Amino acid sequence: MAAAAPAATLSSSKALAFINGGGNFRFGKLYRRNSMELGKLGNSSFQFSSIGGRRIHFRTSVRSYDSTGGVDFPSQDEAQPRVYQWPDRKRPRVCILGGGFGGLYTALRLESLVWPDEKKPQVVLVDQSERFVFKPLLYELLSGEVDPWEIAPCFSDLLANTSVQFFRDRIKSLHPSDHFGMSGQTVSGSSGTVHLESGLSIEYDWLVLALGAEPRVDIVPGAAEYALPFYTLEDACKVDEKLKALERQNFGKNFPIRVAVVGCGYSGVELAATISERLQDKGIVEAINVDNNIMPNAPAGNREAAIKVLSSRNVKLLLGYFVRCIRKVENSRGGDIETAETRKHIILELQPAERGMQSQTLEADLVLWTVGTKPLLLELDSSDKPRDLPLNARGQAETDETLRVRGHPRIFAVGDSSAFRDSSGKVLPATAQVAFQQADFAGWNIWAAINDRPLLPFRFQNLGEMMTLGRYDAAITPSFIEGLTLEGPIGHTARKIAYLIRLPTDEHRVKVGISWLTKSVVDSVALLQDTISKGFSSS
């Protein structure tokens, strides 16, 4: 999903002081950049290392710096060790790594609580992107229901009226030290240090791990080269641009656009429903799933509503198959006349998951990948030394019932970074609903720890499940009313209202609410005019 040196985003009225390697103070120069200066995404891998522990790696990507103001860091070659100087040496220091649902909402929760003046924490939020992305609404970008600013506001705008400082940067390494003492603090007065790719180091008293995850497109040969994931804002924009290009290419021609969706979980089904509605009779959508049913873990009401919609839009379901490989076919025909045979150039080889079924080969113009994610927290190497952070097999941090990482009383983990287990010992799924609730508890428990209050055990409350099925269609199954599923326009409206309430800040909710209401009025007027026009023409 080569970048310029990332930088920290601050308001122009606040300059940061840094200590260089020799201990002298140095102030960063504030400057501005235009948003058109964004560079390409670049992948990078780096390591978490800890004192006496096992080296730990994770991989992520970052775009070049873009904001209304920031600290002008030197290039990596000439950068010297610099330590971020917190404004107040006495107040607690909280560093949050990751600005998704878990990280951003933890920061906002800390900001909303009532604190004694001397104990209100200073909060720094670090993320590799300039924007927070409300991922459940990414599908609406493809249907044209929302604009990017509505579901992907800038962190600088969301945090403008708070005391939270935002740094746009990548994490290079982590050195926790809270496991050395019962109190969680060492003789240096710090519970650990985070080193950023820009060369900046941040000492903290409390740390929140909320680094999220990335799609796994390396599972099948050819997937990374020829399939597009649908997980980030950049992914959604790429898919939208590809569909627009295919629609232009297909205009006036008699062969359909073929789209293959790999995976029939929530994401795959929502994609298939949205794209099939968009293409209508100009496209063919085929959805592939290794299970013999779609969304096997979803409530029955949501699954039945999805099957009904997919069937009505002629989405072909290939159940009980997995993708063996994806390859590209070189066009062998010459000439300027484009045919269906010369245009389809992506081949998916399907292998049956059970005996008695025949292998299949699909041709597609666009392949969308929705199978599997991997947490960005940690990726272990082959060292024999013991690691500091306890991880499960997926690379998530094992936590206790209060969301603290086991053995680290000053580190909390939420969302995809957390391997929180319920009463049955099962790890909670990495969903937005789980991250919402964990952020609320993590913020409260940091408040409780700072104020010498007992920490609360996290208890997940399943409120139900929602999914979009098109521009005016959705399905909602609330957990508190057994057997009820809201479908069609009613479900669509209820889903939009529920997510509007969940947007990060009151100011952003008001802006988006007005925008959605305006669009709804315009659509209603257009529909009324169309109905009247058809009535006159028929008479």
341 has pLDDT over 50 = no
pLDDT score for 187: 38
More confident residue, 483 or 110: 110
Residue 181 confidence class, pLDDT cut points 50, 70, 90: low
For residue 264, report the phi and psi dihedrals to the nearest 5 degrees: -125, 40
Burial label for 530, CB within 10 Å (0-12, 13-18, 19+), is exposed
pLDDT score for 492: 95
Q: What is the pLDDT of residues 443-475, one digit of tens each?
A: 999 999 999 999 999 999 999 999 999 999 999
Q: What does the alpha-carbon distance between residue 149 and residue 454 come to, in Å, rounded to a whole number?
A: 40
pLDDT score for 524: 78
pLDDT score for 80: 59
pLDDT score for 250: 87
10 has pLDDT over 70 = no
More confident residue, 40 or 162: 162
423 has pLDDT over 90 = no
Q: Which of 424, 428, 425, 393 is nearest to 413 (CA)?
A: 428
Tell the residue number behind the tokens 């150039």, with chain if given: 345
For residue 401, report the phi and psi dihedrals to the nearest 5 degrees: -70, -15
Residues of the chain with pLDDT > 90, as a percent, come to 63
Q: What does the alpha-carbon distance between residue 178 and residue 449 come to, in Å, rounded to a whole number?
A: 14
Q: Are 44 and 62 in contact (CB under 8 A)?
A: yes
Residue 39 confidence class, pLDDT cut points 50, 70, 90: very low
Provide the b/e sequence for 343-377 (b: ≥16 CB within 10 Å).
Answer: bbebbbbbeeeeeeeeeeebbbbbbbbbbbbbbbb
Residue 15 makes CB contacts below 8 A (sequence gap 6+) with: 27, 28, 30
pLDDT score for 81: 66
Residue type at 498 in one-letter notation: A
Q: Which of 270, 213, 208 is nearest to 413 (CA)?
A: 208
Residue 255 confidence class, pLDDT cut points 50, 70, 90: confident
51 has pLDDT over 80 = no
Q: What is the pLDDT of residues 367-392, one digit of tens each?
A: 999 998 988 876 433 333 345 788 88
Q: What does the alpha-carbon distance between residue 316 and residue 350 come to, in Å, rounded to a whole number?
A: 14
77 has pLDDT over 70 = no
pLDDT score for 378: 61
178 has pLDDT over 90 = no
Q: What is the pLDDT of residues 343-360, one digit of tens each?
A: 558 999 999 998 889 999
Structure-block tokens of residue 132 = 């927070």
Residue 523 confidence class, pLDDT cut points 50, 70, 90: confident
Q: What is the pLDDT of residues 261-271, one digit of tens each?
A: 999 999 999 99
Residue 302 makes CB contacts below 8 A (sequence gap 6+) with: 295, 465, 467, 475, 476, 477, 485
Structure-block tokens of residue 371 = 């199978």
Q: What is the pLDDT of residues 213-222, one digit of tens each?
A: 999 998 999 9
pLDDT score for 49: 35
pLDDT score for 169: 94
Residue 485 confidence class, pLDDT cut points 50, 70, 90: very high
Residue 532 confidence class, pLDDT cut points 50, 70, 90: confident
Residue-averaged pLDDT of the chain: 82
419 has pLDDT over 70 = yes
The residue-averaged pLDDT of 313-328 equals 95
CA 339 to chain centre: 38
The residue-averaged pLDDT of 416-441 equals 92
Q: What does the alpha-carbon distance between residue 413 and residue 210 come to, in Å, rounded to a whole number?
A: 6
185 has pLDDT over 60 = no
Q: Which of 316, 256, 309 is nearest to 283 (CA)?
A: 256
Pairing mode of beta strands 366-369, 42-48: unpaired
406 has pLDDT over 60 = yes
Q: What is the secondary structure of 380-428 as a DSSP string?
A: E-S--SPPSS-B-TTSPBPB-TTSBBTT-TTEEE-GGGB--B-TTSPBP
pLDDT score for 538: 65
Structure-block tokens of residue 117 = 């003046």
Residue 317 confidence class, pLDDT cut points 50, 70, 90: very high
Give the range among 19-23, 164-168, 222-226, 249-253 with minimum mean pLDDT. Answer: 19-23
The residue-averaged pLDDT of 486-494 equals 95
pLDDT score for 117: 84
pLDDT score for 79: 47
pLDDT score for 539: 60
Q: Are 156 and 166 in contact (CB under 8 A)?
A: yes
Residue 502 makes CB contacts below 8 A (sequence gap 6+) with: 134, 436
In terms of phi and psi (left: phi > 0; alpha: psi -120 to 50; beta: otherwise), the region of 395 is left
Sheet hosting strand 8-9, strand order edge to edge? 8-9, 165-168, 122-127, 93-97, 206-209, 411-413
321 has pLDDT over 80 = yes
pLDDT score for 334: 44
pLDDT score for 55: 36
Q: What does the alpha-carbon distance between residue 92 and residue 452 come to, in Å, rounded to a whole number?
A: 13
Alpha helices by DSSP H, listed for 86-125, are 101-112
pLDDT score for 333: 44
Q: Which of 27, 1, 5, 31 is nearest to 16 (CA)?
A: 27
38 has pLDDT over 70 = no
514 has pLDDT over 50 = yes
Tell the residue number behind the tokens 């023409």, with chain if given: 537
Rounded-to-10 torsion of CA 443, 448, 451, 453: 180
The residue-averaged pLDDT of 86-112 equals 96
Alpha helices by DSSP H, listed for 262-399, are 266-279, 300-312, 340-343
Rounded-to-10 torsion of CA 514, 520, 522, 524: -150
Q: How many CB atoms lie within 10 A of CB 531?
A: 9
